[in-house]
Structure 1
């Protein structure tokens, strides 16, 4: 028979059964039914063309061919497991928690990590939660957002500026545009307008969203004038999806930061993840 048809998944069943010489005990260890173990061994015997066990009333005995084959198969299977363990150790899975609003900044850097750090696998969870508790949450790293944060690495400070669809050229009368809010209140717009003198809309037409990412997306579609973080919309402006009708931006005192779990097992992988994410030019 072709080597490609060798039933590799049956070898473990043979090795376990050879150790117990009892199908019931082997089935329990393998978490299979006794019939499933018997079928796996029968498939392997068919492939080899000789019996691996001799069936007796009191149980099983290895056949002469099975006895001769057992040490070689055991050694080869152990080597296969060792190679798999080494490969798994080289692959670091980084469980990352990030706020949805940071995705516009994060995605290009995840592409950079994928290209330059193939040993890393990023398991991303997006959330509207801006904090993390490594004692109760199963993450290795997190991007957190808030004021008066000091832990971890500074990614960027929040600086708000109005943005609108780049297709609205020349811009329509800004005073009549719907103001798009990234929260359920008007805090961000009020903060920016407090620093302005020339643009003071009455806020008669407003649309509120649950996240800044949704407000930015609505602005790209031409729904209105959004207040957004200038770092988060930088790529949309470069790509011509958005424009800034005003040059001014206002810092809010909040920032985005990267924090990592202390992990001896994943120390090297997390260090590589941090280095890649903090790269100045991920492109």
Structure 2
């Protein structure tokens, strides 16, 4: 017997042709030409050393050897297909996201994986906001370019720990006396919000952080007051880990967006992950 590799594509062509006993219909199902079907079957016959079909005027008829071999090949091919399909459904989706998006992203991923245990996301966090996928299947971006699918706009408001509120009245004077937590190494976010509210406050006590997530965590610990994106802190507000003492909000012009691999390069279930992340909050929180 030949030691050449077993031609799996030819086995599939044989199984389909044996079902139809007609080259035209087999070619239609396989989306190839009749000639290509004939060549695949011929290659398998060469490998086996015997004929699989008898050709006659009305079409094809399995040879005795072909009839005897068919059930085993059908079972083996189905087993290979089932194993591959099982592995395919458990494929890992590689997602890159900025650390500042974690407060919004992680609850959504937890909820999704509870609904779909076969969907696994390998999450990599970064402080790099570049728009390249590199070796990832999808990436959440933060910035002003708006490349890809828009998720939500950044909109800031001050937040503090409930213990610092003391009363329902939180005045401009009380704000000025607090430690200001900055989600960046400069003061631009706070200055943007204060300007939108027509407040003139000297920022006397300040702490600067590398990301908004770190500033929010410090605010939860009662370290001071920070400005934070209302979407990122939605769960913190709902769980009363933070309170928003002012109703005023300001859009920064930045937004969170999502880029992904094209469909022909995408792993299984990437479409479902993208739809879940892009869904309104009431759906995504389910």
**1:87 correspondence with 2:83:** no
Pair 1:123-2:119 in alignment: no
Give 1:204's aligned residue: 204
SS of equivalent to 1:139: coil
Matched residue, 1:140: 137
Name the SS for the 1:242 alignment partner: coil
After superposition, give the CA deviation of every residue in 1:204-255 in whole Å (9 maximum; x if it has no partner). 1000000000000000000001011111111101100001111001001110
Shift of 1:82: 5.4
What secondary structure is seen at the aligned counterpart in 1 of 2:95? strand
Q: How far did residue 77 of structure 1 move?
A: 9.8
Matches for 1:163-174 after TM superposition, within 5 Å:
163-170=159-166, 173-174=174-175
* Runs of 5+ unmatched residues, structure 2: 4-74
Q: CA deviation at 1:132?
A: 3.0
Is 1:187 aligned to residue 188 of structure 2? yes
Unaligned stretches of 5+ in structure 1?
1-18, 20-75
TM-score scaled by length of structure 1: 0.67
1:263 deviates by 4.4
Is the 1:178–1:207 contact (alpha carbons within 8 Å) kept by the matching residues of 2?
yes
Contact 2:93–2:267 under 8 Å retained in 1: no
The CA deviation string for residues 48-70 of structure 1, in whole angstroms up to 9 with x for no partner, is xxxxxxxxxxxxxxxxxxxxxxx
Partner of 1:167, secondary structure, is helix
Give the match for residue 179 of structure 2. Answer: 178
Number of the residue aligned with 2:56: none
> Residue 128 of structure 2: SS of its match in structure 1?
coil
Residues 143-154 of structure 1 mapped to structure 2, 5 A cutoff: 143-149=140-146, 151-154=147-150
Q: Does 1:270 align with 2:266?
A: no
Q: 2:11: which partner in 1?
A: none
Question: Would the aligned equivalents of 2:160 and 2:224 in 1 still touch at CA under 8 Å?
Answer: yes
- 2: CA distance, partners of 1:272 / 1:118: 13
Assess if the C-alpha contact under 8 Å between 1:112 and 1:276 holds in 2.
Answer: no
Q: Is the 8 A contact 1:99 1:127 kept in 2?
A: yes
TM-score with structure 2 length normalisation?
0.66
**Are 1:156 and 2:155 an aligned pair?**
no
Contact persistence 2:97–2:140 (CA under 8 A): yes
Distance (Å, rounded) in 2 between the aligned partners of 1:278 and 1:268: 18
1:253 is paired with a residue of what secondary structure? Answer: strand
